Amino acid sequence: MSPSDAHANHDQHDQHGQHGQHDHGHHGHGHNDELNEHGYKGHTFDDPRAWIERFESPERAAWQRPDEVVAGLALARDAKIADLGAGTGYFSVRFAAAAPQGRVFAVDIEPKMVEWLSQRAADEGHANLEGVLGEANDPKLPEAVDVAFMCNVFHHLAEPQAYFQSVATQLRPGARVVIVDFRKDAPEHAPGPPQSMRMSPEQITEHMQAAGFRLARKDLELLEYQYLLEFVVTD
């Protein structure tokens, strides 16, 4: 599936119960058939397996560069990580491999997706990966984490300030929040949501500052169609 196919339909499942209808090539971590992998806006997700092929396609890997993204986070082997809007677990399983002595909480607001994530973890031998049923404005993490990660989901959030104020209470001292989302200036053929839904790094930073965070790092070079922002709680 081409990147343009992966983002052509913007209407089927957005995990944080947020607004919007489109898929990010990996449902939440992608943009591919109107389905946001994280299930954030009242879209149904009755058969997670049916979406695996489009969410986790080689075409998506070419532009998402998941292994490079994870490597760039330099995770400690015992890190505790929250994948906010985990969808099919595209990044979750990679976090589990990168932090074998840690814990990965794959958060989704769709019960069937969480059930599927837990089964995937068992099937693939990721004992440190746990599916977590979150809410639209609260990830409901079982314990505080070192890294909270969100890919291709922020632009779906109905109330980003409220959501990340909740996240802030579930972070360990010195924790990071990492957000990956689509550039507004990407070419028309690029994967992603409609231009009207895209947010600039400055817009996301404004929301995060309102939630009590400050920008610690901005990477505009790693990914062709996306940017990566890293935030920490404001001192």
Q: Model confidence at 34, in pLDDT bands (50, 70, 90)?
A: very low
**pLDDT at position 190:** 80
Q: Is the pLDDT of residue 150 over 90?
A: yes
pTM comes to 0.81
Residue 32 domain-assigned (yes or no): no
Q: What digits encode the pLDDT tens for the residues 179-223?
A: 999 988 877 778 877 887 899 999 999 999 999 999 999 999 889
How far is 90 from 125, CA to CA, in rounded Å?
A: 15
Residue 226 domain-assigned (yes or no): yes
The residues, ordered by sequence, that sit 6+ positions from 14 with a Cβ below 8 Å of its Cβ are 20, 21, 22, 28, 35, 36, 38, 39, 40, 41, 43, 153, 156
**pLDDT at position 63:** 74
Q: Model confidence at 1, in pLDDT bands (50, 70, 90)?
A: very low
> Residue type at 31?
H
Query: Which H, E and C letters describe 173-226, residue by residue?
Result: EEEEEEEEEECCCCCCCCCCCCHHHCCCHHHHHHHHHHCCEEEEEEECCCCCCE
How far is 31 from 37, CA to CA, in rounded Å?
A: 8
Residue 100 domain-assigned (yes or no): yes
Q: What digits encode the pLDDT tens for the residues 84-100?
A: 999 889 999 999 999 99
**pLDDT at position 8:** 34
Residue 48 domain-assigned (yes or no): no
Of residues 235 and 108, more confidently modeled: 108
User: Domain containing 101: what range?
Assistant: 61-233
Residue 30 domain-assigned (yes or no): no
Residue 178 domain-assigned (yes or no): yes
Q: Using an 8 Å Cβ cutoff, are 57 and 31 in contact?
A: no
Residue 214 domain-assigned (yes or no): yes
Question: What's the number of domains the chain is made of?
Answer: 1
CATH number at residue 141: 3.40.50.150
Q: What digits encode the pLDDT tens for the residues 105-148?
A: 999 998 988 998 999 999 999 999 999 999 999 999 999 999 99
Residue 91 domain-assigned (yes or no): yes
